Structure 1
Amino acid sequence: MAGTEVVLTGLGEVAVRRAEVPEPAPRGVVVRTEAAGVAFAEVQMRRGKYPAQPAFPFVPGYDLVGEVVAVGSQSSWRVGQRVAAMPRSGAWAEHVALRDRDLVEVPADIDAAEAVALVLNGVTARQLLRRAGVRRGHSVLVHGVGGGVGVLLAQLAAADGIRVLGTASAHRHEDLDGLGAELIDHRTQDVAAEVIARAPGGVDAVFDPLGPPSLPTSWRLLAPGGVLVSYGSSATLDQPGPWWRPYVAIARLMAGWELRRLLGRTGGRRARLYYVQAGERSRADLTELLRVVASGRLRPLIAERLPLHEAERALDLHLSGEKTGRIVLVPSADGTGNPKR
C-alpha cells in the first residue's frame, strides 16, 4: 500500500510523490495523518534557513495528529488510538512512523485541525509564558499576535489575568476580536509609541519572533524587572547569507544585555532565548492544553484547511500574511492524496 508525501527537494522546490507505508519500529507506531500543521519553520526550511534542518531532499512537517494504524512488537499503544506528535520533520505524509515515547493521546471529540494547532504553536505559547514568569496584573507585548503562536499566547495570557498588547495587520483585527488583546497595527502605527502611550512604565514581557531588526526596540519597551523573550528571526528571511547569521546577531545582543544585567545596569531587565523541544515537559503541556480546549476555555484559530497535495500553496499562503491563525494540511479522505503527476 502506498500513500502521499510532500518533499522539499531543494531550495524553493516542493514535490508531491507516492511513498510506501512505513513499518513501525519495535517500540513505535505508524500513524495515518488526520492533520499536519504549517508553520514558519517550514517556510524557512524551503529557503534553507531553518536551524539545523535536514539535508535536501526531505519530508518537512513539524507536527501532526492522526490515528494509530500499526504498532511495533513492543509498543505500548493500540491500533485505533488517536495521537499527536512533534517529530520536527516528516509530518507532511499520509502515513508517518513515530516512536512510542513521542506520542500524546488526543481525545476523540477534538477536531484534528484544532488539536494540531496546539502541538507546536500551543506548547510554544505555554512555555513562552512560563519562561517569562509573568503573572496576573502584569502586561505583555506579543509581536505577531495574529500568527499561530500569537493567537494562543494572547488567550492563555488573558486567561491568567495578564494584559496583552499585540501587533497585527489591520485586516486581521476582526478575526482577533474577542481574544483578549489590545491590537496595534504595525503597518500603519508606530508600535513603540503606541506601547508607551498605553503602558507608560513599560511592559513586563515582550515576546519577539522577529529577530535582530526588532529586538533593540523590544528591549527598550520593558518595564524595570521585565523580560524580553526571543524565539525566532522571521524578519530576516529574505536577508542573504547562511541560516545561522541572524542567530549569531541575536546571541550577541543577548550577551550584551546579560553582561549589563550582571553589572547592575539594566534595572533588573533581562533577555532570554527560547526554542521549543519535544520531550516530557512538552508532552505534559500538550496534554493540559488539550484538556483546556475540550473545556471550551481555549480556541485555536484555524486560518485554512488545505489538502496535503496543496502544501506548496499552503507555504505561499503562510508567507503572504493574508490569513490569521494556523494553516493546516489535511490528507484526502480516500487516501490517495491526489499527488501531482
Structure 2
Amino acid sequence: MTSTYRAVLLTKKGGPEALELRELPLEPPGPGQVRVRVRATGVGFTDIIMRRGYYPYAPRFPFTPGYEVVGDVEALGPGVTGLRPGQRVAALTVHGGYAEYLTRGAEEFIPVPEGLDDAEVTALILNYVTAYQMIHRVARLQPGQRALVTGAGGGVGTALLQLLRVAGAEVFGVDSAPKAEAVRSQGATFIDYRQGPFDQALRALVPEGVDVAFDGIGGANISLCTRAVRRGGQVVSYGFTSAVGRDGGSDNLGTLSGMLALYVGARLKGRRPAFYGITQLYREDPAPFREDLPRVFQLLAERKVQPLIAHRLPLLSGRAGQELLERGGVRGKIVLLREVPEAA
C-alpha cells in the first residue's frame, strides 16, 4: 500500500506558477470519513479566483484546488455506513480535487449510477446543479416561459440552455460569434453581444421581454438583463466575473455596482432580483444538492442533457487547465481525468 500521493498545491496568490505538484503523506480516513481515489475533477473560473486570492470559501494557502470530484471509494473510516469500497461517488468539494486521493466526511459523497461518463458526471456536479437549482428553486420557471442566458457558451451557460430546453422554455443565448454554433446547437436563439446592446436585440425579437434572465457576468450586464426582462419578471445573478480585476484581485467597486444594479436598479424597474450561490446554499443546507444531483444524473442517463466537454486533460494538469481557461474561448467544461482517452 502506498504511503504518499501526488497533488497540485496552490502555494500562494499569483499566476499559474503558484500551482505546484507535490508529494503528500496518505493518511487513513478518520471517524466518519471516506477516502476516495480521484477519477476526475473540473477546472473552473472559481479555481482561478481562488488562485488570485479572492474567494470567500477558499481555505488558507497552501491548498489543493478542484471544486468537484468523481472518485472510487478506497477506504472507510470508523462508523461509516451506506458506502462500500470500490463504489463510484461524486462530491461538491469546493477544493481538493487536483489530487490522486481525497478524504472527506462520508455525508459529502453521493453514489454515481453505472454507465455514465466520468467527464460528463464531473460537469454535472457544479455546472448542471447550479443551472438546475436556479431554474427550479430560484426562478421556478414554467413550461412556455421565455429565458435569457448570458455567457451562454460557457460551462454553466450551456447547462442552462440544455436544462431550460428540458423544462420547456423558449431560450435566448448571449455570447460572442465564435460560440454561436454551440448556442444554436442547444436549441437557443443566438444573440451576439458584440453587435450592440443585447437587450435591444432581445426586444427586437420579443418586444414584451423575457420572463427571466440568468447572468453570471455582472457589471453592466445586470442593467442590460433588467431591460431585457418584462416588468414583473426576474433577474437571477450567479456571479460577477466581470468584476475580477486585471491585477488578479477583486474589483470591489465593480462588485458593489453589480449588486446595486441587481438589488436596487432591477427592483426600481419592477423586476424581481435574486442572487444564487451554490456553495453558500450547500453550506447552509446540503439537502437540496443531495436531492438535485441524482435528478441530473437521471437526465444524463436518459440523454436529455449532454455536457459539452471542452478538454479532457490528465488528472494532475490543473495548471494547464487554468491556463487554457484564462486564454478564453473555452466552449464547455475542462475536466482532469485519471484515465484520459487516447483520442482526447
State TM-score, norm by structure 1: 0.90
* Aligned match of 1:219: 226
SS in 1 for 2:278: coil
- Deviation of 1:259 after TM superposition, in Å, equals 6.2
For residues 303 and 266 of structure 2, the distance between their equivalents in structure 1, rounded to whole angstroms, comes to 40
> CA contact under 8 A between 2:153 and 2:331: conserved in structure 1?
yes
> CA contact under 8 A between 1:31 and 1:96: conserved in structure 2?
yes
Output one character per residue of 1:222-262: Cα deviation in whole Å (capped at 9) or x when no partner.
102110011111112225664655443333334424764xx
1:252-331 to 2 correspondence within 5 Å?
252-257=260-265, 260=268, 266-267=269-270, 269-277=271-279, 278=282, 279-331=286-338
> CA contact under 8 A between 1:305 and 1:330: conserved in structure 2?
yes
- Deviation of 1:205 after TM superposition, in Å, equals 0.7
5+ residue gaps, structure 2: none
Corresponding pairs, count: 327
- Deviation of 1:128 after TM superposition, in Å, equals 0.9
- Deviation of 1:30 after TM superposition, in Å, equals 0.5
Structure 1 runs of 4+ aligned residues shifted over 6 Å read none
> CA contact under 8 A between 2:162 and 2:186: conserved in structure 1?
yes
* Aligned match of 2:124: 118
Between 17-26 and 293-302, the greater mean CA deviation after superposition: 17-26
- Quick check: 1:54 aligned with 2:54? no
For residues 95 and 293 of structure 1, the distance between their equivalents in structure 2, rounded to whole angstroms, comes to 26
Q: Of 102, 106, 114, which aligns to 2:108? A: 102
Percent of aligned positions with the same letter in both sequences?
A: 36
Q: Which amino acid aligns with 2:58?
A: Q
- Quick check: 1:14 aligned with 2:19? yes
- Deviation of 1:57 after TM superposition, in Å, equals 1.4
- Deviation of 1:110 after TM superposition, in Å, equals 0.3
Distance 1:15 1:202, change over 3 A: same
* Aligned match of 1:263: none
* Aligned match of 2:256: 248
For residues 317 and 246 of structure 1, the distance between their equivalents in structure 2, rounded to whole angstroms, comes to 25
* Aligned match of 2:139: 132
- Deviation of 1:309 after TM superposition, in Å, equals 2.8
Distance 1:108 1:244, change over 3 A: farther
- Quick check: 1:161 aligned with 2:163? no
Distance 1:98 1:231, change over 3 A: same
1:223-234 to 2 correspondence within 5 Å?
223-234=230-241
> CA contact under 8 A between 1:206 and 1:228: conserved in structure 2?
yes
For residues 27 and 125 of structure 2, the distance between their equivalents in structure 1, rounded to whole angstroms, comes to 23
- Deviation of 1:185 after TM superposition, in Å, equals 2.1
For residues 187 and 9 of structure 1, the distance between their equivalents in structure 2, rounded to whole angstroms, comes to 38
Distance 1:257 1:297, change over 3 A: same
For residues 155 and 27 of structure 1, the distance between their equivalents in structure 2, rounded to whole angstroms, comes to 37
> CA contact under 8 A between 1:257 and 1:271: conserved in structure 2?
no
> CA contact under 8 A between 1:48 and 1:243: conserved in structure 2?
no
Between 17-26 and 78-87, the greater mean CA deviation after superposition: 17-26
> CA contact under 8 A between 2:123 and 2:333: conserved in structure 1?
yes
Q: Of 82, 86, 90, which aligns to 1:80? A: 86
For residues 323 and 242 of structure 1, the distance between their equivalents in structure 2, rounded to whole angstroms, comes to 22
Output one character per residue of 1:87-127: Cα deviation in whole Å (capped at 9) or x when no partner.
11111111000211111110121011100100011110001
Output one character per residue of 1:177-221: Cα deviation in whole Å (capped at 9) or x when no partner.
431211122234442221111111111111111112321121111
> CA contact under 8 A between 1:50 and 1:243: conserved in structure 2?
no
Distance 1:302 1:159, change over 3 A: same
Between 251-260 and 124-133, the greater mean CA deviation after superposition: 251-260
For residues 146 and 199 of structure 1, the distance between their equivalents in structure 2, rounded to whole angstroms, comes to 21
Output one character per residue of 1:263-304: Cα deviation in whole Å (capped at 9) or x when no partner.
xxx44x211111003311111100110011011111111110
Output one character per residue of 1:13-64: Cα deviation in whole Å (capped at 9) or x when no partner.
1111112223212112101111101111001111112234222211111101
Q: Which amino acid aligns with 1:68?
A: V
> CA contact under 8 A between 1:168 and 1:185: conserved in structure 2?
yes
Q: Which amino acid aligns with 1:223?
A: R
Please give the root-mean-square deviation of Cα atoms over the aligned residues, in Å. 1.8
